[in-house]
Amino acid sequence: MRRLMNILRLGRKELWSLWRDPMMLVLIVYAFTASVYTAATAMPETLHNAPIAIVDEDQSPLSARIASAFYPPHFTRPRMITLGEMDTGMDNGEFTFALNIPPNFQRDVLAGRQPEIQLNIDATRMSQAFTGNGHVQQVVMGEIDEFVRRYRAPTELPVDLALRARFNPSLEKSWFGGIFEIINSVAMLSLILTGAALIREREHGTIEHLLVMPVTPGEIMISKIWSMGLVVLLASALSLVLVVRGLLQVPIEGSIPLFMCGAALCLYAMTSLGIYMATLARSMPQFGLLLMLTLMPLNVLSGGLTPRESMPELVQNVMLIAPTTHFVELGQAILFRGAGLDVVWKPFLALLVIGSVLFALSLKRFRRTISQMA
């Protein structure tokens, strides 16, 4: 009971220290509000309002039909220009695509010849250039095919392919951006808050005060873990309910309490890792450099941005020891697919094992650091 009271009092001290740190409070509020909202809404379609210009040297019904096939939201209204204006406009960045329809194009098409259409692309706009290249070709070839057949009707195929998008029927990208940002913020802040709390005590000299008190290194470490973890857990729950479900109108299929249990296990592992990193760093700048080396691989290779199946097998196997890999797996399963504990028990167990190992390593390192300071 005495040890439990020590842990509670030390944790309350950590919460009070955090409350008196305005920069950390601003970071927490921003990470779970504005950052989540912008991550969801700042993900427009890859091909959205792409500027296009058309040089119509044919002035035929077919060329007019091709020009009218480009319209918002994928493209802006086509800008009709002359051949002399095409290179100048591309150099000035006025449009991404410039389509040149040569003279006698319709006559050559109806005669069975193979006329060429020149498509100029501003490749400095990489995402639009890559996606728009195939889209423009598809639009042009579709209009030519329908013009030659003289009627607009789908081609009869021997197989009818019925497409059904599950969990996100409208393929809305904001659904994924907001939830992944919460997962990312949980991992980031759990490292920052626990590591900064330990380094702040070392820099302010309060760690020496703790050494003369009747508390053990384990009690000090557990108090930092539960207090900082509680702050991140409450902030993520509020963000999930108020920002994702309320403001962004993203439907949550699964159980939020079950997701919070998974988040608590992830916090258990990540806060332990944050303390371990804080014992390695001598100052906040060093800790910041360690964060850059740690957070970037965890975010990029955990499976949230790209599927793990598309990564090299070696990377997939190595990332199995990362807590964020299993947290992303259970988060997507619960929040998107409505999975229960019978489905996500494996990532839960993996987080418990990884967290226990990280806690043991961090406690050993923390005790060694404390003994050296004593």
Flag residues of the chain having pLDDT under 50. none
pLDDT in tens, 13-68: 888 888 888 888 898 999 898 888 888 877 555 677 889 999 999 999 999 999 99
Give the global pTM. Answer: 0.74
**Residue 340 neighbours by CB under 8 Å, 6+ apart:** 254, 255, 258
CA distances from 50 to 83, 171, 337, 357 (A): 20, 20, 34, 51
pLDDT in tens, 231-285: 999 999 999 989 888 888 888 888 889 999 999 999 999 999 998 998 888 888 8
Between β-strands 79-81 and 52-56, what pairing exists: parallel, antiparallel or unpaired? parallel
The pLDDT score that the predictor gives to residue 181 is: 86
DSSP for 11-41, please give it.
HHHHHHHHHT-HHHHHHHHHHHTHHHHHHHH
Domain boundaries defined on the chain: 2-42+173-373, 52-149
CATH number 3.30.300.30 is the correct assignment for the domain at 52-149: no
The pLDDT score that the predictor gives to residue 350 is: 94
The pLDDT score that the predictor gives to residue 250 is: 83
The pLDDT score that the predictor gives to residue 129 is: 83
The pLDDT score that the predictor gives to residue 373 is: 58
List residues bridging with 81 in a β-sheet: 55
The pLDDT score that the predictor gives to residue 288 is: 87
